[in-house]
Structure 1
Amino acid sequence: MARPLPPPGSGGARPADHRPHGDPWQAFGYIVAGVLFYGAVGYGLDRWLGTSFLVVLGILGGAGLGIYMTFKRFDTTDAPKADVRQETR
């Protein structure tokens, strides 16, 4: 028989603003999807334009965008952005 979840507010429940600690498969998926998608776009453009370097740019760009998306998704900094142009007196 399954164990029931504790009632909300009893200290055993997750807080409402709980952020994921990071799923390695999701991070892997972002990077692989970026490489496959942008590599395919580069390959298609290579075939269409008769070049041979766009597939490499697509793969590198897709990997870079996948890494960027991974960092943005699992960013845990909740610090408010401070205005750089604050006046000092």
Structure 2
Amino acid sequence: MARQLPPTAGPDDTSKGDPWHAFGYVVSGVAVYGLAGWALDRWLGTTFLVAIGILIGAGFGIYMTYARFNKASADDKPVGD
């Protein structure tokens, strides 16, 4: 009997992006930069840097999500276009 090989991944089988990656980017950005803002608040004796850190982290997370999904959609375009 001939051995059957699994089908190769076609263009329709590739993933377009995992929504958990987007969630992870935003949450980790908020956590890392919020923690950095909190540490700077404690060190400098201020109270506003944690909020700035959270906003910057969310912005970086959204940017990383956009960059990842934009790259995936750019790779899907035909070569002639």
What's the TM-score once normalised by structure 2's chain length?
Answer: 0.75
State the partner residue of 1:35: 30
Gaps of 5+ in 1: 7-12, 80-89
Q: Distance in 2 between matches of 1:72 and 1:19?
A: 18
Larger Rg: 1
1:5 counterpart = 2:2? no
Q: Which residue of 2 aligns with 1:77?
A: 74
Q: Which runs of 5+ in 2 are unaligned?
A: none
The SS at the match of 1:5 is coil
Secondary structure in structure 1 of the residue aligned to 2:40: helix
- Identity of paired residues, percent? 56
- Using the TM superposition, name which of 43-52 and 20-29 deviates more: 20-29
SS at match of 1:77: helix
Aligned residues: 70
Shift of 1:21: 0.8
Structure 1: distance between partners of 2:56 and 2:14? 28
Three-state SS of the structure 1 residue aligned to 2:58 is helix
Q: Secondary structure at the match of 1:22?
A: coil
Give the helix-richer structure, 1 or 2: 2
Structure 2 partner of 1:87: none
Aligned equivalents of 2:15 and 2:50: distance in 1?
34
The alpha carbon displacement at 1:14 in A equals: 2.2
Deviation of the 1:4 alpha carbon:
4.7
RMSD: 2.3
Whether the aligned pair in 2 keeps the contact of 1:37 and 1:62 (CA below 8 Å) is yes
Is the Cα contact below 8 Å between 1:43 and 1:55 reproduced in 2?
A: yes
